Amino acid sequence: MDDRDGKIWMDGQMVDWRDAKIHVLTHTLHYGCGAFEGVRAYNTVNGTAIFRLREHTERLFNSAKILRMKMPYAFDEVVEAQKAVVRENNLESCYLRPLVWIGSEKLGVSPKGNTIHVMIAAWPWGAYLGEEGLKRGIRVKTSSYTRHHVNITMTQAKAVSNYTNSILANMEATDEGYDEAMLLDSAGFVSEGAGENLFIIKDGVIYTPDLSAGALNGITRNTVFHIARDLGLEIVQKRITRDEVYICDEAFFTGTAAEVTPIRELDRIELGAGSRGPITEKIQSAFFDIVNGRNAKYAEWLSKV
Ligand code: PMP
């Protein structure tokens, strides 16, 4: 990943991809206090545009705030830098990865006095859980790892350190032949996927865990709320049990990387008809219309680069 052509925005400069380096004594590398985002740009009918750029940038700033890291750049600078990275790398569609980290001035647990840094990289990235997964649905395992409790790590921050939990859950699930993990919260209720929010559908109503289950406030999750409203479907945020998922009619994951990915199996139990459900398909299709600029109602969610 480090050996390729292109530019990475690093602390205000466009740096050659291979030269975008940090010191091994970087504080974040040792203690995991850092914040990041995952953003996508689509090759829309009106040209390349970044989807919900302001919302992603707001979440990045909020994550930094929660982690007590003072952002060294203004909001609009970070917005413009993301557009510039897509342009500089001549990307038609891509994934963007902004990251905020703490510098290497000193290495006690306390980062007080250390500098804060920002970088933004972008590269082409297809369907996160596979093209086949988008069509047929994926196979998911309930993780043996519990999702973070809301007062252990800060679950509304997209914090670097939160992802050790995601990595363990994903590796466990994929080692056992599944596509992704579903994590329960510390009380045993459904929280989210390793890198996705979860939705189930039962008798025409859509349910998703409320954020007190430790799930990230996903921007795709919010997009699905808008889509459901447009389709006249009810969405309820509530505590969900693992067995409610077993007996749902349809289920899907959402995320910037995962987009809208149907779930066809949980713990080897077929969900509904065991394929992409009809409501999921409608939501997925509405989602791809929006991100590709085919729904004028949401034109303001697409920032041209
Ligand atoms: N939960 C977790 C743990 C994630 O990493 C992500 C991906 N950012 C999501 C949910 C989905 O969030 P979004 O739709 O904003 O990408």
User: What is the structure's pLDDT at 303?
Assistant: 98
- Tell me which residue has tokens 């930094």: 64
Contacts of 89 by beta carbon, 8 Å cutoff, 6+ apart: 6, 7, 122, 123
d(CA 215, ligand 1 centre) in Å: 8
Sign, CA torsion 180/215/103/60 = positive
- Judge if the beta carbon of residue 255 lies within 6 A of ligand 1: yes
The alpha carbon dihedral of 253, 217, 204, 232 has a sign of negative
Residue whose CA is closest, atom 12 of ligand 1? 218
Cα-based angle 302, 10, 16 (whole degrees, multiple of 5): 100
Q: What is the Å distance from ligand 1's center to 8 Cα? A: 23
Residue having the nearest C-alpha atom to atom 4 of ligand 1: 195
Token pair for 108: 């006690």
Nearest CA residue ID for atom 11, ligand 1? 255
The average confidence (pLDDT) of the chain is 97
CATH of domain 131-291: 3.20.10.10
Catalytic site includes residue 297: no
| Region 7-123: CATH code | 3.30.470.10
With a 6 Å cutoff on the Cβ, whether 153 touches ligand 1 is: no
| Predicted structure pTM score | 0.98
pLDDT at site 287: 98
Whether ligand 1 lies within 6 angstroms of the CB of 216 is answered as yes
170 touches ligand 1 (CB under 6 Å):
no
- pLDDT of 296 reads 98
* pLDDT tens sequence across 32-66: 999 999 999 999 999 999 999 999 999 999 999 99
For residue 128, the model assigns a pLDDT of 86
Using pLDDT thresholds of 50, 70 and 90, give the confidence band for residue 129.
confident
Q: State pLDDT tens for residues 165-224.
A: 999 999 999 999 999 999 999 999 999 999 999 999 999 999 999 999 999 999 999 999
Tell which one of 216, 256, 287 to mutate to probe ligand 1, the residue whose CB is within 8 A of the most ligand atoms. Answer: 216
**Residue 139 reports pLDDT greater than 90:** yes
Q: Are 181 and 165 in contact (CB under 8 A)?
A: no
- Indicate the domain borders of the chain: 7-123, 131-291
Q: What is the mean pLDDT of residues 90-97?
A: 98
pLDDT at residue 299, rounded to an integer? 98
Q: Is the CB of 223 under 6 A from ligand 1?
A: no
In the predicted model, is pLDDT for residue 127 greater than 90? no
- Residue (of 140, 150, 145) closest to 166 by Cα position: 145
